[in-house]
Structure 1
Amino acid sequence: MSERAGESMSPDFTAAEMMSVEAARALAGHTSCFVGIGLPSTAANLARRVHAPGLVLIYESGAIGAKPSRLPLSIGDGELAETADAVVSVPEVFNYWLQPGRIDVGFLSAAQLDRFGNLNTTVIGGYDDPRVRLPGSGGAPEIAASCREVFIMVRHGLRTFVDRVDFVTSVGFGDGYDSREKLGLRGRGPVRVVTDIAVLEPDPVSRELTLTRVHPGVDVADVRAATGWDLKVADEVAVTEPPTDEELAVLRRLEEQ
């Protein structure tokens, strides 16, 4: 199975579209979301239009309740401030809203992800002499630490799904088990990882990411082959419902703007 984001998963939708739709569905029932730019922003804006019309989108730049008519180019995009219910300072976003645990969901992506949901957006290779220097942390470490729950959205492949990240930018479950509690982190950590081929969730005891769902046309073997560790698999693996016509239409309008 060679499907990857942007390639056709079926005649009707792509793997990238399935990923965005499934991530958006996960936000149903939530009231507030701290949104990262890129894949998470696409899913969060789709969710607000289809699955969670009352969802309050919060961006690191200080835009609270942003309702952009198009996908923002960055956290500094003027569209966020123009459409927000309020614009506050960055320290207020972190000190009042994020760190006390007032935000339901933090939505993140990364260059690397390991079996315990730790994220790397800092370097590939050694820190002192990296092969690639990545954009850095931004607010991701605080989002991962303090939001009530964290959703992760990444494309599935061996370069991203590694046994151990080269650098822990944002803590997921550390070394597993009770690592978060020992570190004194407020939030529950990453409760869902949505990729272009599957959905993973942490084991309730070990906290190791476990395959719980595959997208249409994907086999368990395909997901294991695209993962850089011996992936745990749930006793029963569900199959994701394909996107509806409404979900696809709204998503495509968003991405065309």
Structure 2
Amino acid sequence: MISKGMERMHTNFTPQEMIVVAGSRVLENNKVIFAGTGLPMVAITLAQFTHAPGIIPVFEAGAVGPTLDRGLPLSVGCSRTTSKASYLQGLNTAFELTQRGFCDFGFIGGAEIDPYGNLNSTMMGQFPEEYQKPQLRLPGSGGASDMAASCERTIIIMAHERRRFVEKLQYLTSPGYLDGSEGARRRAGLVGQGPYRVITTKALLGFDEKTHRMKLIATMPGETVESVQQNTGFELLVDEKVYEFAPPTVEELRLIREEIDPRGYFIKRK
């Protein structure tokens, strides 16, 4: 549970630490979270250690409901994902949970995102002409496309740069609201509702209920509405109650640095 020490805010933190803390705070207790590799795993572990001990993580290799207190998993197939798990039955069973509506959130990342929450994690370059020899080959979908298609909602975590927030993706890897039109996901055969939050180094973003365009909900410490927009390659909607996100607490940073990722596998040190 949250300790008294968490009431004290800390001013000495990195953008990666801020993004993980924000990701953790967005997660609700007793929800089923399908975890992507990297920062989502750190955020889920932090949430389990603080305000959401009842979170049920699901990992692509098949572990469901582990307690992440044996050390940070280095991948979704790491043996640490099985510690105290409810069961372990393999990849097909994990994704079956999403298709049957049992995963509340999919927690994923991406290299590019458009106004409707569609993600690119495949390639940089002209598609299809440069697909075989792109300017940059990215890791690809892994299970992210399946998570974006089938989990009830998705939470996206990524760095906030103008080159990453673009009007049109170079390649669509994981579906968001597609073209933003009413019923677009259902017409495409997608069962999940779509993106819920985008957590970045500069902002917390959501999506307008009618237009499905990305909307600024909160700015990270030191940022403004203007600075966030300047680093976004399309026009953001701005919530009428936009606020400044609270910085990490002393306890949140201690957990990240000393207990969750002390070797800096995913959270780099200054």
Q: Would you call these one fold, judging by a TM-score over 0.5? A: yes
Instruction: Tell me by how many angstroms 1:75 deviates.
Output: 1.5
Spell out, residue by residue over 1:212-248, the C-alpha distance to the aligned partner (whole angstroms, 9 max, x if none): 1101211111111111112222223111122222222
SS in 2 for 1:161: coil
Contact 1:30 1:105 in 2 (8 A): no
Q: Percent identity?
A: 39
2:163 corresponds to which of 148, 159, 163 = 159
Instruction: Tell me by how many angstroms 1:211 deviates.
Output: 0.8
Spell out, residue by residue over 1:106-150, the C-alpha distance to the aligned partner (whole angstroms, 9 max, x if none): 000011111110011111112243111111111111100111111
Structure 1: give runs of 5+ residues left out of the alignment: 1-9
The residue type paired with residue 237 of structure 2 is K
The more displaced of 190-199 and 81-90 is 81-90
After TM superposition, the structure 1 = structure 2 runs for residues 155-234 of structure 1, keeping only pairs within 5 Å, are: 155-178=159-182, 179-234=184-239
TM-score between both structures, scaled by the size of structure 1: 0.91
Could you tell me how far apart the structure 2 residues matched to 1:29 and 1:189 are?
20
The residue type paired with residue 77 of structure 2 is G
SS in 2 for 1:192: strand
After TM superposition, the structure 1 = structure 2 runs for residues 8-157 of structure 1, keeping only pairs within 5 Å, are: 11-68=11-68, 69-95=70-96, 97-126=97-126, 127-157=131-161
Contact 1:30 1:104 in 2 (8 A): no
Structure 2: give runs of 5+ residues left out of the alignment: 1-9, 264-270
Spell out structure 1 runs of 4+ moving beyond 6 A: none
The more displaced of 44-53 and 232-241 is 232-241
Spell out, residue by residue over 1:47-87, the C-alpha distance to the aligned partner (whole angstroms, 9 max, x if none): 11112101111110111112232221112212112442321
Instruction: Tell me by how many angstroms 1:30 deviates.
Output: 4.3
Indicate how the Cα distance of structure 1 residues 227 and 30 shifts in structure 2: closer, same or farther if over 3 A, else same. farther
Could you tell me how far apart the structure 1 residues matched to 2:236 and 2:56 are?
34
The residue type paired with residue 87 of structure 1 is L
Aligned to 2:261: 255
Could you tell me how far apart the structure 1 residues matched to 2:173 and 2:116 are?
13
The residue type paired with residue 157 of structure 1 is E
Contact 2:11 2:247 in 1 (8 A): no
The residue type paired with residue 79 of structure 1 is R
Spell out, residue by residue over 1:177-199, the C-alpha distance to the aligned partner (whole angstroms, 9 max, x if none): 32113223211111100101101
Could you tell me how far apart the structure 2 residues matched to 1:114 and 1:232 are?
13
The more displaced of 122-131 and 140-149 is 122-131
The residue type paired with residue 19 of structure 1 is I
The residue type paired with residue 172 of structure 2 is V
Could you tell me how far apart the structure 2 residues matched to 1:85 and 1:134 are?
33
Could you tell me how far apart the structure 1 residues matched to 2:41 and 2:80 are?
13
The more displaced of 100-109 and 224-233 is 224-233
